[in-house]
Amino acid sequence: MEIDEDMQFWRLADSLTLTQAALLIVGINPGKCKIYNARDIENSTIRNEDNINLPAAQFRAVYHSIVAAGRAERLKVTWLYVGDFKEHLDEPNSVVDVEDLKAWLLMRGFQYNFFFPEADLHEFKDPKHPRYASKLAAIVAAWEAVTEAERNKTVKQTLVKWLNKEAAKYGLLDDNNEPRKKIIEDLASIANWEPTGGAPKTAASITLTEEKGKKENQNSTLADFDLDSEVPF
């Protein structure tokens, strides 16, 4: 993706509005365009400084995906509201942390965009890299390490356990050298591929399932045996 020189400065931002994030992902400079219907952003046209229409269809798809991920808590979004009593959600100006956004993009396999300029897929894991982000590295490392929920735990609880264990490695300890619970919970929520939860598998249920499988295999073996065949002894 070709990035104009002025867009480079957006890489200084620690957080972005959902609108800015979606524009940058599709290669549009938020500072050089205008969205003509901010109240219906998914159906609005987008034009550059020369009043030429930009690829709004791509923007709409990305913006919709970001909002959906935020609502499903697969991506941490700080939602903003209009009015003293929060009567209207202000989606376009709600905010996402850049590290959280990059982790979500990586887990969606969408690394070829503004946020990953000519970078090797594993550079973000290197603490010596000039753009190393410890929270991003921790999220992806946890996602790679945890392939299933432990017995009697949900996926998120298993991720939390792993992150607590590795907290020192990723700078997730407080001044008392204790794991930062809130941050670890947030990171686990992003890496969690089963955000709807559900009852964790217990040791008893797994044992019963295994026993059921053994019985089914035994019955299948007996059914396949030909009682009329000659006994081999």
pLDDT score, position 21: 95
* Segment 81-121, tens digit of pLDDT: 987 777 788 999 999 999 999 989 988 878 767 888 755 55
166 backbone dihedrals φ, ψ, rounded to 5°: -100, 15
pLDDT score, position 18: 95
132 backbone dihedrals φ, ψ, rounded to 5°: -60, 130
User: Do the Cβ atoms of 136 and 99 come closer than 8 Å?
Assistant: yes
The band of 205, judged by pLDDT with boundaries at 50, 70 and 90, is very low
**Residue 119 in tokens:** 């970078």
pLDDT score, position 222: 38
Least reliable range by pLDDT among 52-61, 68-77, 156-165: 52-61
217 backbone dihedrals φ, ψ, rounded to 5°: -65, -40
Q: Write the single-letter amino acid at 146.
A: V
Q: Is 203 exposed, middle or buried (0-12, 13-18, 19+ CB in 10 A)?
A: exposed
From 68, 67, 58, select the one nearest 25 (Cα to Cα).
58
Please calculate the CA angle 15-21-25 and round it to the nearest 5 degrees.
Answer: 135
pLDDT of residue 228 exceeding 70, the answer is no
The band of 224, judged by pLDDT with boundaries at 50, 70 and 90, is very low
pLDDT of residue 20 exceeding 60, the answer is yes
Share of the chain above pLDDT 70, in %: 79
pLDDT score, position 165: 92
What does the CA dihedral 132, 160, 145, 125 come to, rounded to 10 degrees? 0
CA of 88: how far to CAs of 79, 81, 92, 95, in Å? 11, 6, 12, 16
pLDDT score, position 164: 94
CA of 36: how far to CAs of 24, 47, 60, 185, in Å? 17, 8, 13, 38
* pTM beyond 0.75, yes or no: no
Please calculate the CA angle 132-122-109 and round it to the nearest 5 degrees.
Answer: 110
* Segment 47-67, tens digit of pLDDT: 888 888 887 888 989 999 999
pLDDT score, position 5: 72
pLDDT of residue 213 exceeding 70, the answer is no
Alpha helices in 26-122 (DSSP H): 56-71, 98-107
What does the CA dihedral 66, 144, 191, 14 come to, rounded to 10 degrees? -60
Query: What's the average model confidence in pLDDT over 186-212?
Result: 67
More confident residue, 80 or 39: 80
